[in-house]
Structure 1
Amino acid sequence: MLVKTTANDVATEKRTCVVLGGRGFLGRSLVARLLQLGGWIVRVADSSSHSLLTDPSVSDSLLSNALCSGQASFCHVDVRDISQIIIVTKGADVVFYMEPTDLDIRDFYNCYMIIVQGAKNVINACRECKVRRLVYNSSADIVFDGSRDILDGDLSFICPGKFKDMLIDLKFQAEGLIRLANNIDGLLTCVLRPSNVFGPGDTRLVPLLVNLAKAGLAKFITGCGENMSDFTYTENVAHAHICAAETLDSRVVSVAGKAFFITNLEPIMFWGFVSLILGGLGYQRPYIKVPTWMVSCIVSLHQCRNDKLYNYSVSPHYMLQLASRTRTFDCSAAQNHLGYSPVVSMKDGIKLTIQSFSHLANVSFYTKYGNFNEQSKAEKMLGSGIVADILLWRDERRTFACFFTLVLVYCWFFLCGRTFASSLADLLLLVIVALYGHGILSSKICGFAVQELPSSRFKVTESEAQQAMRSIAHTWNKGVRRIKSLAKGEDWSKFFRVVISIYLFKSIQAYSVAVLFGIVLVFAFTAFFVYDQYEAEIDALRILIFCGIVELKGLLLRKLPASISSFSQHDNVLNQEKVPARVKEWKQPDHALVVF
């Protein structure tokens, strides 16, 4: 006999769950997976407005359909208010607590109330409403203080207790409260510690990398660049939460009150991961290695100069440690006790993440780096003429000929043991004899034609003479303007630059002319060529050094007396106009100060 099953009967078979923080990065992924699996009535609880759920530009069709069918519902909940939590958790079988990740570390009180007090409120609400299971999303960061590498860290790894990042410290306290609440009034708890979560909707890692790339600072690798890290795709984290809830339902003693590391089970070099993300979005991959201490000094100078930090969600110094230390975790406990295994591989996760951030892609990348006809900066500096072709080794035969000629001249004047005047006289005598001898040669010698030197080669045109005079006049007038500017006593920084330049010129005079000429000769035929080949790397390093100098200058000015500081304000305003565009972008809040 067949029994017809109604929709109401199916609905009664479904279990009810609450996803606190369901509109956050991880919360969205968990809600989507619960709806995909079916068998769940999902209550999405978040402090965001309900309008975000119905806006087609930000909501997916799966959630929209679930809201219309009654499989999902939304409730505005502030975890700081326990009464609101009680309302949404009544009758629920399990609560998934996904706290917000976009908190402002400048507001300690608000962070404490949301993370620590929020955890207390969630525990008390679950106990009052007789909720059987509570799964809390923590972080693998709570066992990492940046002082040492972590290689295959397992559950026996001792938490440091002291953290450089305030949010990690608060999350550690919240995790402790969740675990201590296990098996009180029938409530079973479990804590998951995902490592370096990424994926579509990420509000921290990928946007930060893109902002750094736009500012020209993502070219740097902090540290050796060989450090390994565990990353976890967001859908795998959601899958781990569901596995934990299912296991708690079986009342497994080895799971209740415990914490488990969650990873993709595919450790990868940190900077390799960053390169894949940036390269997939069309940005230059990191390739310049910079010592960690150098970047840390720049960050410290910036923080000393600015009393109010930018809206960082994580401490910049902590981010530097994440980028330069090895951090891998043993996920076998989650595999054995929770039945967890990744549902999305690292390769597919990176691919899906890049596709989701296509709106941040650098569409002009291939145009910018594929235009090989564009002149380099070194070529423009040398005038884009014969001199540029010679010094940049565009014509190797001509370059070698010029270099060999200059070496002979160098030996003739400086290494022959004669005075400069006698060497010049001998050279002029040799040139005159050579020219006279060339002039009396026959037009053909042994069947070979002898080309005559046209007289035009020894003439200077009127336009060339005028151009030379204009260059001399321009240089003279420029020097006069600088002297007048110094005489007014307004630009003290220019004064110091002139003094330093004169001092360096004086120091150079201590060396012999032969040594100086040799240095200039080698420098001309190597420096421009090296700069032409590694223009991007050198410019990026120049920007980094300039940023450090600017921050150091600002720190020193703050230590000066008020009278001197006010005197230099006018000059600072003028200097701001000369700051490169990339450095101005670097100072924007979105770009932070963290260098990868």
Structure 2
Amino acid sequence: MVVTTTANDVAYGDWSETRTCVVLGGRGFLGRTLVARLLRLGGWIVRVADSSSHSLKLDPSSASDSLLSNALCSGLASFCNVDVRDTSQIIKVTKGADVVFYMEPSDLNTHDFCNCYMIIVQGAKNVINACQDCKVRRLIYNSSADVVFDGSQDIHNGDELFTCPGKFQDMLIDLRVQAEGLVRLANNIDGLLTCVLRPSNIFGPGDTQFVPLLVNLAKSGLAKFIIGSGENMSDFTYVENVAHAHICAAETLDSRIVSVAGKAFFISNLEPVVFWDFVSLILEGLGYQRPFIKVPTWMVSYILSLQQYIYDKLHFRMYNYSVSPHYFVQLASRTRTFDCSVAQKHLGYSPVVSLEDGVKSTIESFSCLSKDSSFMRYGNYNEKSKAEKLLGSGIVADILLWRDEKRTFTCFLTLALVFYWFFLGGRTFTSSAAKLLLLVTVVLYGYGILPSKICGFAVQRISSSYFKISESAVRDSIRSISYMWNKGVRNIRMLAKGEDWSNFFKAVVVLYFVMLILSYSLAVLIGIALVFAFTAFFVYEQYESEIDGLGKVLCCGIMESKGLLMRTLPASITSFLGNYRILDQEEAPAVVKEWK
């Protein structure tokens, strides 16, 4: 897709002179696109400032990086490593600049509140102070439409009069509200004019948040679920349009001071779409299955709360996403659309790339993450999970781990019908088996006497080889039965000799559990086992590390309890148990005799 440059970009600018601008965060997702668009327009000397690295690393295969490389050679662009926590570094890069575009880094560690505060809030203060000291005329701050959304209610065509809520569940949004307020309050102080843009759900090539999150969910099998009704609308904004809006704001800030300076403007593609339809377009374009299973929002919220509780108890750290899981649930289940008529009227903004073209460009740029790409085939996530290894990595694993939903659902429905036939039909097991065999016999015989063609459709005959069992299969089955029989006899003999305490305790525990199982209804136990088989392995695969961590905590608790018990036992018994644990079976009887 070729991105066009429209007249709106230059509607209010005087292009007779070359102007200097600073793009703080110029190597981030939005910053790269803004830098490339400024260089394509011409008439700008662009200072790229970023704290991601001390040296500029360019990708020759990237069109935007190639453009920046040429600009660096011609002197139309420069790069400087700037930490917004240090005002002196900001002053150094902003001296002599006409405009400063400021966007925060998107890869913040959300578990470090102090660092996030210093970068977002204190960073905004430092940028404002540096702009005032250097007599910069215009400051454009990239905020987000999230600053008016707390998840408690839908937003239908919200405009700039929509008030910000007082409390947010997401820390970064709360901090961004404070930074936005600082930028707007700094307007017209020491000659500085400020403006705030609030784009809604930015997406596009180079996205490090939304699209990678969807791909990760698809790989884990969670992308098949729709949170809520699945009918909520949302506004998405292609990254090129956001860059275009920044340039429009910079051009109009001088000429329309009253209507633009100190104001905030919502930015979108002006094409509201059903949230889950947009997600489906991205996933299907990358070769993944579109979401189709609806789950209530309250259920997902409870699961996330339980997960958070377990993480806190086990001192685990949840995945570092720029948006908290709870906030993503609210975003995915609530309607959130905005009215951008004010930006159209006062900034002269209108999208330069349609939503359809933006989605196509995004999918093309993320082809390396598609389901059939070499990255998918050879990535580390292709490693077999413990659940898959436990189930044998075959057809059973594919069914119980829901790799093929149709096959899994068919097997579950078949087993459920068999369970109902044998245990809930009100008949004895023998009569149920006899009727089932009678039914199978009638069906097979009826299928056999069907004509070769029915209404033009050929009837495929069942080959007799389907009912044959190979000698090797029979031989393997007999070997397995013999092995189990001999193992059982060997264990009984060892119990009769009274030489293996470990084997004795294992037998006691197993028989005790068998006694407990038989004390309940067999139908109930089989029903529970059926449901457990089709859910437990899938859940374990999704939360393998958390469950393993919980198991380690339980094991540590058992070992501590064992140690406490050992300390309370008499010294002679403790000594015997300690010696017996490290002796061979041949030496154990002698020790027991000596202890007696």
Work out whether the TM-score is over 0.5. yes
Give 1:508's aligned amino acid.
S
Aligned to 1:544: 539
- Give the superposition deviation at 1:392: 7.5
| Alignment correspondent of 1:318 | 327
Q: Deviations over 1:89-131 (max 9, x none)?
A: 1111111001111100112121111111110111111111111
Conservation of the 8 A alpha-carbon contact between 1:557 and 1:565:
no
Contact 2:109 2:320 in 1 (8 A): yes
1:488 aligns with 2:505: no
Q: Which residue of 2 aligns with 1:42?
A: 46
Deviation string, structure 1 residues 18-37 (Cα, Å, up to 9, x no partner): 11111110000111111111
Of 190, 193, 203, the residue aligned with 1:188 is 193
1:274 and 2:242 are equivalent in the alignment: no
User: Is the contact made by 1:97 and 1:134 (CA closer than 8 Å) also made in structure 2?
Assistant: yes
**Which residue among 14, 31, 34 is the counterpart of 2:35?**
31
Provide the C-alpha distance between the structure 2 equivalents of 1:47 and 1:553, rounded to a whole number of angstroms. 38
| 1:219 and 2:214 matched | no
Given residue 293 of structure 1, which amino acid in structure 2 is its aligned partner?
S
Query: Residue type of the partner of 2:308?
Result: S
**Distance (Å, rounded) in 2 between the aligned partners of 1:99 and 1:465:** 68
Q: Does 1:296 pair with 2:312?
A: no
Q: Is the CA contact (8 Å cut-off) linking 2:204 and 2:361 kept in structure 1?
A: yes
- 1:282-319 deviation line (CA, Å, top 9, x unaligned): 12222222342354245324432334344333222222
Distance in 1, matches of 2:172 and 2:540, equals 31
AA aligned to 1:74 is F
Report deviation, 1:198.
0.7
Cα gap change, 1:55 to 1:378, in 2 (>3 Å): closer
| Mean Cα deviation higher: 147-156 or 61-70 | 147-156
Q: Which whole-Å CA distance do the structure 2 matches of 1:57 and 1:490 have between them?
A: 68
TM alignment of 1:225-264, pairs within 5 A:
225-264=230-269
Q: Structure 1, residues 231-263: CA drift from partner, whole Å, max 9, x if none?
A: 111001001111111110203312111111111
The aligned counterpart of 1:508 is 521
Partner of 1:584: none
| Contact map agreement 2:209 2:321 (CA 8 A) in 1 | no
Correspondence for 1:441: none
For 2:367, the equivalent position in structure 1 comes to 358
Instruction: Go from structure 1 to structure 2 and tell me whether the alpha carbon gap of 1:509 and 1:311 turns closer, same or farther (over 3 Å shift).
Output: closer
Aligned residues: 477
The partner residue of 1:337 within 346, 359, 363 is 346
Shift of 1:56: 2.5
Three-state SS of the structure 1 residue aligned to 2:258 is coil
Residue 270 of structure 2 contacts residue 351 of structure 2 at CA under 8 Å; is this kept in 1?
yes
CA pair 281-467 structure 1, distance change in 2 beyond 3 A: closer
User: Is the CA contact 1:53–1:64 (under 8 Å) kept in the aligned structure 2?
Assistant: no
1:114 aligns with 2:109: no
Q: Is the 8 A contact 2:195 2:263 kept in 1?
A: yes
2: CA distance between counterparts of 1:27 and 1:496?
64
Contact 2:220 2:542 in 1 (8 A): no
2:101 to 96, 104, 120: 96
Identity over aligned residues, as a percent? 63
Please report how far the alpha carbon of residue 155 of structure 1 lies from its aligned counterpart in structure 2 after TM superposition: 1.4
Deviation at 1:466, TM superposition (A): 6.1
Distance 2:181 2:68 in 1: 33
Q: Within 2, Cα distance between the matches of 1:244 and 1:462?
A: 80
Distance 1:255 1:547, change over 3 A: same
What whole-Å deviation, never above 9, does each CA across 1:169-190 have from its counterpart, x for those lacking one? 1111100000000111111111
Is 1:287 equivalent to 2:289 in the alignment? no
AA aligned to 1:358 is: S
Letter in 1 for 2:346: H
The CA distance in 1 between the partners of 2:102 and 2:426, in whole Å, is: 79
Q: Which sits farther off after the overlay, 186-195 or 279-288?
A: 279-288
Residue aligning to 2:586: none
The residue aligned with 1:134 is 139
Q: CA deviation digits over 1:419-444, x for unaligned, max 9?
A: x9xx99xx9xxxxxxxxxxxxxxxxx
| Native 8 Å contact 1:180 1:257 kept in 2 | yes
Tell me which amino acid in the other structure corresponds to 1:24. G
**CA–CA distance in 2 between the matches of 1:88 and 1:187?**
17
Alpha-carbon distance in structure 1 between the residues aligned to 2:276 and 2:491: 47
How do 1:438-517 residues align onto structure 2 when only pairs under 5 Å count? Answer: 469-476=478-485, 488=502, 502-509=515-522
Distance 1:21 1:41 in 2: 16
Q: What residue in structure 1 maps to residue 91 of structure 2?
A: 86
Relative to the length of structure 1, the TM-score reads: 0.68
Q: 2-side partners of 1:498 and 1:196: how far apart?
A: 59
Unpaired stretches in structure 1, ≥5 consecutive residues: 1-9, 368-373, 382-387, 428-459, 532-537, 569-596
Task: Pick closer, same or farther for the CA change 1:255–1:461 going to 2, 3 Å.
Answer: closer
| Structure 1 counterpart SS, 2:257 | coil
Matched, 1:208 2:213: yes
